[in-house]
Each structure stands twice: as structure tokens, then as C-alpha cells.
């Protein structure tokens, strides 16, 4: 396996020193920044995530800050989700699409105040799109990438660990809500969210200089909880059906194809880009959609799109796959045509190492 070459273009994070000290073994690049992918082994990390608590460097979830009198109008232009009811203190998962309804990103938006939002992005330069729209429509907003780097606490003991560092108040944060909590005299956004199904928080660390002190404090406070450095885990996120932008959805897909139709209020999200394109699909439904698939056999790594076949007819694609120790099968995320998406449908998958049997599941493994 090839190593990742060092360069300033692939940015380090405020937590990189901690990640290296913890013995990171693999990286990917996400938003022009290093994202750890494995510490001990993907399977050991997985087991530990489900049983204890991990601290994750997810600084790659860069923020697009939108600020100014037109911030609310711009935000509603960016997503088909109806934002009228959104209040400060809330996080909204907001699919963002282009004029054809194609996914550009699937970020989480935080409303900081009536005229200020953070958009916590997946892996694409959404900043460029937001700036382009703001400029084209001459909106009265500032759009920028602030010095904010999320650090996640994930796992069944996340509440206990977070409470030890930020106080018991964090236990009361509801899902997809956030509050402001102090660490060493500075106040940070702490949200109940994160890219796992094990529960936990994301701390929006504002100011690079606070990165390592917080990292170290969490590691120290969690010693008896068996805290470890971790990262989004391939197996756990596929089991849980957590889609990854660039893997399981791209600009070729509508939110409805990605199973995100419930976040699209195409009738009421007035002014959103892509509304015309999405109205029909909202009414009729997509003709292909994300499905959980189990695949049998000793598979190669899913480093490319795998065609899904019914006989020799192509009826879909698999885009993420991993062996699940808990479910004793290869768990996979794919996109399947409606003719073949019913649970129990027997299909095959064409990989770089040949064909393997697959079955459409009724849902993900959680």
C-alpha cells in the first residue's frame, strides 16, 4: 500500500500532533486536510467504538460561515429543506443541491443567531458554491472559512467523558441541538451529533491554539474509561447506514435517490436552488435509491464503484463495503433501481476481483 506524501496543501489539523502521538496508521484526505482512518486496526477500532469512548479529529468538517443581513435568505437558497422553523441552538442536516437537483454536499447547519450560521461540510469545496451564489445574487453576506475545527467524542461512554470536561450540563443536550460550554475559560459550541450510531458530541473548537489542550484534557479525563483516539469507522458507519458524500452520493444523485427525501420540502422551501428540478422527483419518487446490501465472499477493498447486476443487466452500484464482525457478512451501501430494490432480491456485484453474490436488505444493520 502506498504512503501519503507530506505537503502543506494537505493540511494538518489542530489535533494532528495528538493523532500522531496516538499512532495513526492510515489517512485519507478530506476537504484538503488529513483525516485519520485507522489507529489499531479497523476491526479493533470498531469494537472499541461500540464499547468505550473515542476522541476523533474531525477538523476536516470545515465550516462555511455565513453572516450578515441576507444570511437567512442565502441559507434557504442553498437547501430544499424548509428552514423557517430553525432556531439558534439547533443543528439541521441540510442536503444542498445544484440547479439540476444534484447533491453538492450534505452538511449540518448550525444556526448561531438570526444572521449567522455555520455550515459543517462534507468533502467538497462548498464554500465556492456559496460564494458564487452570494456574489451572483448580490446578497449582503460575508462567506468565509473560520478557524473552527470539530473534535468528536463518540461511543457509549461519551456522555460521561464529556461531562467530566465540560460539566454535567452536556448530558441535557438533545440530539442535533447544541449549547455553549466552557473549557479553560473559553466557550465552545458542543453539539449532540457525530458520524457514528454510538452517540456522542461534536465540539466546535474555535481557535487552533485550543486544539491540543482540549485533546489532552479529554485523553486525561477518560483514562479509566479506556478512551482512545479514533476516527469515523468504515464498518460501523456502513452498518448504521451513514452515507458518505463522494462515496455513496455525488453530484449525479438527487437527495431522494440518497433516501434524503424527508429533508426536502420542495413545496415550502421557497427560493431554493434546484426546486424546479426536484418538484417532479418529490412527487413521483426516484427510480433508483440507496439500499443496504449484504455481499457474500472474500472481497477486495471497495476503492471504486462496483456495478450491481441482475443476471447480466446492470441495475445499480455498490459504493461502500466492509466485513462486519458483528453481523458476519459484508455490509454494503449501494444504489439500486426500483425494479430490483425489494428486500430479499438476489443480485451480484462485479468487483476488481470478480463477481460475488449480493442480497438487498430491508434496512441497515441497526
User: Which residues sit at the interface with its own copies, rule CB under 8 A?
Assistant: 1-12, 24-29, 32, 36-38, 98-99, 104, 123-126, 128-133, 135-137, 234, 244-247, 273, 301-305, 319-320
Under DSSP, is residue 25 helix (H, G, I), strand (E, B) or coil?
Answer: coil
Q: What is the dihedral of CA 354, 357, 360, 363, to 10 degrees?
A: -90
What grid cell was written down for 241? 447506514
Which lies closer to its own copies via its Cβ, residue 46 or residue 166?
A: 46
Which lies closer to its own copies via its Cβ, residue 158 or residue 238?
A: 238
Which lies closer to its own copies via its Cβ, residue 16 or residue 348?
A: 16
Q: How far is the CB of 209 from its own copies (least distance, A)?
A: 15
Please tell me the total number of residues recorded for the chain in this structure: 366
Q: How far is the CB of 10 from its own copies (least distance, A)?
A: 6
Q: How far is the CB of 197 from its own copies (least distance, A)?
A: 19
Q: How far is the CB of 180 from its own copies (least distance, A)?
A: 29
The DSSP-derived string for 31-90 is TTEEEEEESS-HHHHHHHHHHS-EEEE-TTS-EEEEESTTHHHHHHHH-SS--TT--TTB
d(CA 219, CA 211): 12
Q: How far is the CB of 1 from its own copies (least distance, A)?
A: 4
Taking the alpha carbons at both ends of the chain, their separation in whole angstroms is 32
Q: Is 234 exposed, middle or buried (0-12, 13-18, 19+ CB in 10 A)?
A: buried
Closest-CA residue to 105 (of 40, 60, 42): 60
Which lies closer to its own copies via its Cβ, residue 3 or residue 87?
A: 3
Which lies closer to its own copies via its Cβ, residue 60 or residue 205?
A: 60
Closest-CA residue to 288 (of 330, 256, 320, 332): 256
Q: How far is the CB of 326 from its own copies (least distance, A)?
A: 21
Which lies closer to its own copies via its Cβ, residue 35 or residue 218?
A: 35
What grid cell was written down for 101? 437537483
For residues 57 and 19, is the Cβ–Cβ distance under 8 A?
yes
Which lies closer to its own copies via its Cβ, residue 88 or residue 142?
A: 142
Q: How far is the CB of 301 from its own copies (least distance, A)?
A: 4
Amino acid at each position: 500500500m502506498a504512503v501519503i506524501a507530506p505537503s502543506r496543501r494537505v493540511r494538518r489539523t489542530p489535533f494532528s500532533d495528538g493523532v500522531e502521538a496516538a499512532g495513526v496508521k492510515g489517512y485519507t484526505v478530506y476537504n484538503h486536510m488529513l483525516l485519520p482512518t485507522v489507529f489499531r486496526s479497523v476491526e479493533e477500532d470498531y469494537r472499541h467504538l461500540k464499547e468505550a469512548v473515542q476522541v476523533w479529529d474531525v477538523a476536516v468538517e470545515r465550516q462555511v460561515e455565513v453572516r450578515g443581513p441576507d444570511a437567512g435568505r442565502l441559507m434557504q437558497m442553498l437547501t430544499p429543506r424548509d428552514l423557517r422553523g430553525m432556531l439558534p441552538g439547533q443543528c439541521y442536516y441540510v442536503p444542498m443541491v445544484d440547479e439540476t437537483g444534484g447533491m453538492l454536499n450534505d452538511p449540518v447547519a448550525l444556526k448561531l443567531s438570526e444572521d449567522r450560521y455555520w455550515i459543517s461540510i462534507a468533502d467538497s469545496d462548498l464554500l465556492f458554491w456559496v460564494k458564487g451564489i452570494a456574489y451572483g445574487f448580490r446578497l449582503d453576506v460575508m462567506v468565509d472559512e473560520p478557524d473552527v475545527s470539530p473534535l468528536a467524542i463518540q461511543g457509549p461512554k461519551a456522555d460521561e467523558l464529556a461531562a467530566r470536561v465540560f460539566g454535567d450540563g452536556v448530558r441535557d443536550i438533545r440530539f442535533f441541538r447544541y449549547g455553549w460550554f466552557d473549557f479553560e475559560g473559553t466557550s465552545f459550541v458542543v453539539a449532540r451529533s457525530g458520524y457514528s450510531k454510538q452517540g456522542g458530541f461534536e465540539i466546535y473548537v474555535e481557535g487552533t491554539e485550543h486544539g491540543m489542550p482540549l485533546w489532552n484534557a479529554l485523553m486525561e479525563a477518560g483514562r479509566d474509561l479506556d478512551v482512545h483516539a479514533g476516527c469515523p469507522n468504515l464498518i460501523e458507519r456502513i452498518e448504521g447506514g451513514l452515507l458518505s458524500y463522494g462515496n455513496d452520493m455525488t453530484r449525479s444523485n438527487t437527495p431522494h435517490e440518497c433516501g434524503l427525501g424527508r429533508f426536502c420540502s420542495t413545496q415550502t422551501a421557497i427560493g431554493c436552488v434546484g426546486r424546479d428540478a426536484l418538484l417532479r422527483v418529490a412527487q413521483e419518487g426516484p427510480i433508483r435509491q440507496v439500499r443496504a446490501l449484504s455481499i457474500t465472499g472474500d472481497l477486495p477493498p471497495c476503492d471504486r464503484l462496483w456495478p450491481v447486476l441482475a443476471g447480466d443487466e446492470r441495475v445499480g452500484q455498490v459504493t461502500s463495503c466492509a466485513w462486519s464482525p458483528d453481523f458476519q457478512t459484508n455490509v454494503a451501501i449501494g444504489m439500486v433501481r426500483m425494479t430490483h430494490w425489494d428486500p430479499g432480491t438476489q443480485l451480484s456485484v462485479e468487483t476488481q476481483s470478480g463477481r460475488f453474490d449480493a442480497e438487498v436488505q430491508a434496512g441497515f444493520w441497526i
